[in-house]
Amino acid sequence: MSDPIVRPGRSAEREVEGQKATPRHVAIIMDGNGRWAARRGLPRVAGHRAGAEAVRRTMQAAADAGVEVLTLYAFSSENWRRSEDEVSDLKGLMRFYLERELGTLQKEKVRLKLIGEPAAFGNDLYDRLSQAVEETKDNDRLTLVVALNYGSQAELVGAARALAERAKAGEIDPATIDIAAVESLLHTRDLPPLDLLVRTSGEVRLSNFLLWQAAYAELVFTDTLWPDFDEAAFAATLAEFARRQRRFGGR
C-alpha cells in the first residue's frame, strides 16, 4: 500500500476548536480498476469485480470509524464513452452486487442514496436501485451515496437553469441568489458538507466530481489502485485528515 500524497506545511493541531478528527462526509474517486487488471493480465471486467469488493471493505471501514456519509463515484457521465462491452459489464456488475449486498446494507444499517441521473441505465436496473433505496431509507448507521451517471458541471448547470427560470417567472429576485440558494438545488442538498475527498491510483484531479462541494474539503491522493484499497488504506486517509489544519478561508 502506498502512502497518501500529503501537501506540505500541515499541522497536527486542529484549526477549529471542537472539530472532530473523524470526517462526517467522505467521498472517493475510485480509480485504477483497469490498471489493476492489466498488471495481472486480466480483462478489465476483472478489475471492476475486484473494485466492487473494495467497495464492501471501505463501506464497512467507514461505518466502523463513525463516518456518517460515504459518497462513491461509481459511474460518471463521461463513462458512456467507454466501449459498449465495458459499459454492459459495469451495468451487469451493478445489478449483481446490488442483489448480493442488499442484505449487508440492511444488516449493517446502511442507507443507500443515489445522485446523478441513474434512470439512464434503463428501467430494469433503475427500478432495482430505486427499490434498494426505498428498502434502506430508515437505516441510520451510515449513508452510502452512489454517484451514477453523475457530472458536477451538469449538476451546477441544472441548478443555474432552475434559478434562472424562477427569476424569469418573477418568483425570486436575482439579487437574492446566494450560496444557500445554489446548494438547495444540488444533488447533495440533504447531506452534511463534504469534509474529505480521496482519489486512488495516483491521479491528481477531480474529474468533474463534487466540484462545488469540494470547495473546502481536504484532498488526499494515494497511489493505491482501487481494488487494493483496504481497511488500512482507509484508516491512513482518516489519519491524514486528522492531521490537517482546516482553515475554511479564514486565514
- Top-level class of domain 20-243: alpha beta
pTM, two decimals, is 0.89
Predicted confidence at residue 35, as pLDDT, reads 96
Q: Is 48 annotated as a binding residue?
A: yes
Residue 251 is predicted with a pLDDT of 56
User: Which residue is catalytic, options 31, 89, 195, 228?
Assistant: 31
Q: Is 165 labelled as part of a ligand binding site?
A: no
Q: Please indicate whether residue 79 is annotated as part of the active site.
A: yes
Helix 231-243, helix 44-65: angle, nearest 10: 50
8 A C-beta contact, residue 115 and residue 84: no
* 231 annotated among ligand-binding-site residues: no
Per-residue model confidence as pLDDT tens digits over 76-89: 878 777 778 778 87
H/E segment holding residue 43: none
Find the catalytic residue in 64, 79, 139, 223. Answer: 79
Is position 218 annotated in a ligand binding site?
A: yes
CA count, 13 A, side-chain hemisphere, 12? 1
